[in-house]
Amino acid sequence: MKTYRQAYVKPTWGLATEVIYNRVDNWIEDIPVALRWQSAAPDSLFRINADQGDNPIGNYDQPENHRIMQDGKAAVGVYKSLSAPNATDNYLNAMFPDTGSILNRTEQAGWVFSDTGEMYFAFKMIKPYAWYHQTPTDPANKVKTTTQLHPTKQLYYSYNILRSQADKNGWVLEAADAAEYADFASFRNAVLANATVDSSHTWSSDHPSVAAVSTDGKVTAAVPGTATITATTEDGSYTASCLVTVILEPLFEDSFAGGLASWDFFGSTAWSIQGSGTEALLTGSTTLTGPQRAVVKAAALPYRSQDYSLSFTAEADRFRTMFRYTSGTSFYFLEFKNTSIVELRKYPNASTPVQVGIAVDIAAVLPGFNLEARHPYKVEVLGSEYKLYIDDVLVAAFTDADLTAGGIGFALKSAGPAVHLLVDQVVVMPRIATP
C-alpha cells in the first residue's frame, strides 16, 4: 500500500489530506480530508468521505474511488463510483460537527461557509446534495440506511451532514486564517467573487497515438511513450494537465528457469527442460508423425487474447510455432522446415490443416539462413495480419481473418527422421492498433 499525505498547518488550525494507492487491507481506517481547528467545544474537525460498504457514515472512505488534490489551504476532490450505474453506495459526505465548534454556518450559491473563530472555511459539492442531522443517540442507520446496526456503531458526536449521491462527483474546499480577512463576511465575499467551480470540461491528448482520451476522460493506452492529457473548462479559462506514461507489460513470459508449470503437453513425452537456472531451455525431440504440442495454459495466457507479438529464440531442424490457439483443431501455425522454408497453415475449426498464402524462403531475405543455427524470432499478430521477423528483419507477411483469438505454443512433427527443437526466452507482448 502507498499513502501520500499533504498538510498545511497554522498555530491554531490545519488542513491535511491523504491518498491511498494499491490498498490491500479493507480494514485500514482512511480519513482523506481532515480540517481541524482549536476550540473549547469538542470535535473541532470537518471531514469528507465516500460511503464504504455497511460501515457507519463518516467512519471510512473508498480510497480507490476518491482522489484528493491539495494546494496549501485549498483542496479539491473527485469521485467515481466503481459499482454499476445508479448503485446505492455512490455517496459523498461532508461532516460538519454540531457541537459548538462551528460558531456560524451559512449557505450561498451552493457554497457552505463556516466560521470557527480561529479560521474560516468554504465547502462546495459539485452535484446536488441534501442536509441531514444525526446524533449519538440516533440509530446508526438513520442517514446511511445501509449501515450495519450494532450498539457501538453510533456516531460519537452530533453532525450536520451534507450528503450527495452521484456516480461521478466532486467537491472544493477553501480555508483561510481569520486574521487574513476583516470579518467572516469578507471571506465569504472573496470566495464568491474569486472561486469558480465548473464541472463541465473537455478532454484532449497531445499524443493520441500514444494515449487517447474520451469525452468523459477515460484514457486508453495505445503504444509505449508519453502523452499529456488536458482538461479544459468550457469557457477556456482554466486547464489542468497530467503526464501519462504508457508502458506495455508482457502478457506472458517464460525463461524456463522455474520449470514447465505454465505449459500443457497433452500427454506428450517429447518435451523437457535442458539445463537449469539462467541456462534452462525448453527442448523437444520426437520421431512421431503426429504433432507433439507444447501450449501455454489458458490460465497463464487466456485464449481470449487477440493481438500480440510472440518472441523467442530457437534452434531446430523442423518445428511449428502456433498462435491464436484455442484447441487442437483451431489455431494458426508457422511451419519451419527444409533448412530455410516457412509456411503459414491453419486448423480452421477442422481436423485438416489449410495453407495460407505461399511458402517463403527465409534465405532469400537472410542469405545463409539455417534453422539449425540459433536465431531470435518474433511473430506479430494484429487483426488479420501476421508478420514474421528473424534477426529483427521482416522475412514474411500473411493475411487471414478466420481465427481471431487464442494462445501460443510450439509443436514437433517428424517427416521421417527425428526432429529437434531448443527454445528460450518466450515473451508475449500486447499489440494495440494505432488510432
Domain ranges of the chain: 2-194, 201-246, 252-430
pLDDT in tens, 96-120: 999 999 999 999 999 999 999 999 9
**Are β-strands 168-177 and 119-125 bridged in parallel, bridged antiparallel, or unpaired?**
antiparallel
- Spatial separation of the C-alpha atoms in residues 390 and 253, rounded to whole Å: 19
Residue 179 pLDDT level (bands cut at 50, 70, 90) = very high
Alpha carbon distances (Å) from 24 to 3, 28, 63, 69, 103: 12, 9, 11, 22, 40
Mean predicted confidence (pLDDT) in 119-133: 95
Residue 400 pLDDT level (bands cut at 50, 70, 90) = very high
pTM of the model: 0.53
Mean predicted confidence (pLDDT) in 360-384: 97
Q: What is the mean pLDDT of the chain?
A: 90
Pick the more confident residue, 396 or 24: 396
Least confident of 194-208, 299-313, 359-373: 194-208
Pick the more confident residue, 399 or 69: 399
- Spatial separation of the C-alpha atoms in residues 295 and 260, rounded to whole Å: 10
Mean predicted confidence (pLDDT) in 353-362: 97
Mean predicted confidence (pLDDT) in 272-278: 94
What pLDDT is attached to residue 151? 64
Q: What is the CATH number of domain 252-430?
A: 2.60.120.560
Residue 28 has pLDDT above 60, yes or no: no
- Name the CA dihedral angle for 234, 235, 240, 241, rounded to a multiple of 10 degrees: 70
Residue 3 has pLDDT above 90, yes or no: no
Residue 27 pLDDT level (bands cut at 50, 70, 90) = very low
What pLDDT is attached to residue 43? 94
Q: What angle do CA 61, 62, 66 make, to 5 degrees?
A: 100
What pLDDT is attached to residue 434? 54
Least confident of 53-57, 158-162, 233-237, 341-345: 233-237
- Spatial separation of the C-alpha atoms in residues 228 and 213, rounded to whole Å: 10
Residue 24 has pLDDT above 60, yes or no: no
Residue 152 has pLDDT above 70, yes or no: no
Dig out the grid coordinates for 415 from the structure.
517427416
Pick the more confident residue, 385 or 84: 385
What pLDDT is attached to residue 313? 97
219-223: long-range contacts (C-beta < 8 A, 24 or more apart)?
Answer: 219/244, 221/246, 221/248, 221/432, 222/246, 222/432, 222/433, 222/434, 222/435, 223/248, 223/432, 223/434
Question: What single-letter amino acid sits at 356?
Answer: V
Mean predicted confidence (pLDDT) in 40-62: 85
Q: Residues 280, 379, 372, 351: is their CA dihedral positive or negative? A: positive
- Spatial separation of the C-alpha atoms in residues 142 and 139, rounded to whole Å: 5
- Name the CA dihedral angle for 400, 391, 257, 316, rounded to a multiple of 10 degrees: 80
Residue 59 pLDDT level (bands cut at 50, 70, 90) = confident
Pick the more confident residue, 353 or 21: 353
pLDDT in tens, 277-307: 999 999 999 999 999 999 999 999 999 999 9
Residue 150 has pLDDT above 70, yes or no: no
What pLDDT is attached to residue 1? 60
Neighbours of 396 (CB within 10 A): 21
Pick the more confident residue, 435 or 33: 33
Answer for the pair 312, 322: CB distance below 8 angstroms, yes or no: no
Alpha carbon distances (Å) from 172 to 78, 124, 197: 9, 5, 8
Answer for the pair 43, 21: CB distance below 8 angstroms, yes or no: no
